[in-house]
Amino acid sequence: MAGEEATCKHDRCSSAATGGKGYCARHYAAWKRGKLPKARYKTCRVEGCRKVITSRGRCAEHFARDFTGKRTASETAPAAAE
C-alpha cells in the first residue's frame, strides 16, 4: 500500500482506517463496545440482544427465560436438597 491509505470498512464511512481491525477510530471504539453488527464478543442469539453468551447461545437473561429449571455453567451454588 505505497501511498494509499485504507478507508474504514464500515458501511458509508470514508474516514481513514486508523483505529484497528480495518475501522476508523470512531467505528473501532463502537466495535469494542459491541455496538456494531459484528460484535467483539459472541453475542446472544436472540434478535436485538447484544449481551455476551453464557450458555447454549444465549445470555443469562434469555437462557433463564428459554430453559426454565436449567442452570448456567456459571452458577456454581449446589441445589437445595429436600
Predicted model pTM:
0.50
Average pLDDT, the chain: 80
- The residue range of the domain holding 65 is 41-73
- In a domain, residue 78? The reply is no
The reply to whether 25 and 49 lie within a common domain is no
In the chain, how many domains are there? 2
From the list 57, 30, 60, the residue with the least C-alpha distance to 45 is 57
For residue range 12-49, what is the model confidence (pLDDT) as tens digits? Answer: 999 999 888 889 999 988 888 778 877 677 888 888 88
What would the DSSP string read from start to end of 23-36? Answer: B-HHHHHHHHHT-S
CA neighbours closer than 13 Å in the CB half-sphere of residue 65: 8
- In a domain, residue 14? The reply is yes
Kindly compute the dihedral angle of the four CA atoms of residues 20, 23, 29, 35, in this order, to the nearest 10 degrees: -130
> Quick check: helix, strand or coil at residue 60?
helix
Please indicate whether residue 5 or residue 11 has the higher confidence score (pLDDT): 11
> At 3, is the pLDDT very low, low, confident or very high (cuts 50, 70, 90)?
low
The reply to whether 32 and 12 lie within a common domain is yes
Per the structure block, which three cell numbers stand in for 28? 473501532
